[in-house]
Amino acid sequence: MTLALRSGPDAGNFAYFIKARPVLMTSVMLATVLLVSAAARALPCARLQSLRPPCARDRIFLLQGIVPTFYADVTDIFMSSRRVRVTVDLAGPMVEVVLGSVAILSAHATSPGIEQALLLGIGISLWESALINLYPFNFLEMDGYNILSDLLAMPMLRQQALALVPSLPQRLRSVKTIERAEWLQLGYLALCLISVVIYLVAHVDAIRSLIRLS
């Protein structure tokens, strides 16, 4: 983290090389994040091959219907124990943090240029990916959400929370009838909404710029 902050003065150089070769830089950073994420989720499964069926299989799909992308299908992990499921969910973000740190350390030891900019971009992208994956309150079923639902023993937390929305005004009139599980679901919804609002406020300038361009 300290080295990343020290790289702040080099942000101009990083932006320069991004603008100079946007397709190359963006493609390499995106491909690195996707490959690291898929490999990291398959890693703990490779150590758990005694599970039947195996908890990970290599898959390929079209990202946004266009870009061929490899990933690890860990759907069958839900047939295993909570400890194994949480281990698999934590593996991806933790590997992203470690490899992101390695990339930033390498950038710090590299002379200014496209290599340094690329390493710094990869490192920051992996850190951001880990943070997004671990944060559970964004309406997306990512690693953080899976860990939260496992810890709460509510595998359908998101779906059940959204199902409460149509009857929410009526339910709030009789608060005493709301069960503990429903309070947890309402808490999940509230934190998701607050997170979205904070995100939009933090990025209001970027949103205004996009509106002007359109």
Same domain assignment for residues 6 and 37: yes
Average pLDDT over residues 2-23: 58
Same domain assignment for residues 101 and 127: yes
Write down the mean pLDDT value for the chain: 75
Amino acid 82: pLDDT = 78
Same domain assignment for residues 85 and 174: no
pLDDT over 70, % of the chain: 65
Amino acid 64: pLDDT = 43
Reported pTM? 0.67
Query: Domain boundary residue among 98, 118, 134?
Result: 134
Query: Domain boundary residue among 104, 134, 164?
Result: 134
Give the three-class secondary structure for 148. helix
Kindly indicate the confidence band of residue 136, based on its pLDDT and cuts at 50, 70 and 90: very high
> In this predicted model, what pLDDT tens digit does every residue of 142-152 receive, in sequence order?
889 989 998 89
Average pLDDT over residues 128-150: 88
Same domain assignment for residues 42 and 147: no
Same domain assignment for residues 181 and 198: yes
Same domain assignment for residues 117 and 27: yes
Q: Give CA–CA dist 152/138, Å, rounded.
A: 17
Residue 125 sits in which domain range? 1-134
List, in order, residues 6 or more apart from 185 with CB less than 8 Å away.
Answer: 154, 157, 160, 161, 164
| Helical packing angle, 82-108 and 143-151, nearest 10° | 150
Kindly indicate the confidence band of residue 207, based on its pLDDT and cuts at 50, 70 and 90: low
Q: Which residue has the higher pLDDT, 35 or 162?
A: 162
Q: Give CA–CA dist 94/21, Å, rounded.
A: 30
Same domain assignment for residues 43 and 73: yes
> How many domains does one find in the chain?
2
Q: Give CA–CA dist 65/71, Å, rounded.
A: 15
Lowest-confidence segment of 32-41, 86-95, 144-153 by average pLDDT: 32-41
Kindly indicate the confidence band of residue 185, based on its pLDDT and cuts at 50, 70 and 90: very high
Same domain assignment for residues 13 and 45: yes
Query: Domain boundary residue among 73, 106, 134?
Result: 134
Amino acid 83: pLDDT = 79
Q: Which residue has the higher pLDDT, 3 or 168?
A: 168
Sign of the CA dihedral 28, 29, 34, 38?
A: positive
> In this predicted model, what pLDDT tens digit does every residue of 45-79 receive, in sequence order?
555 554 444 454 545 544 445 445 555 555 555 66
Same domain assignment for residues 163 and 80: no
Same domain assignment for residues 40 and 97: yes
pLDDT reading at 181 higher than 70: yes
Same domain assignment for residues 84 and 152: no
| Helical packing angle, 157-164 and 180-202, nearest 10° | 90
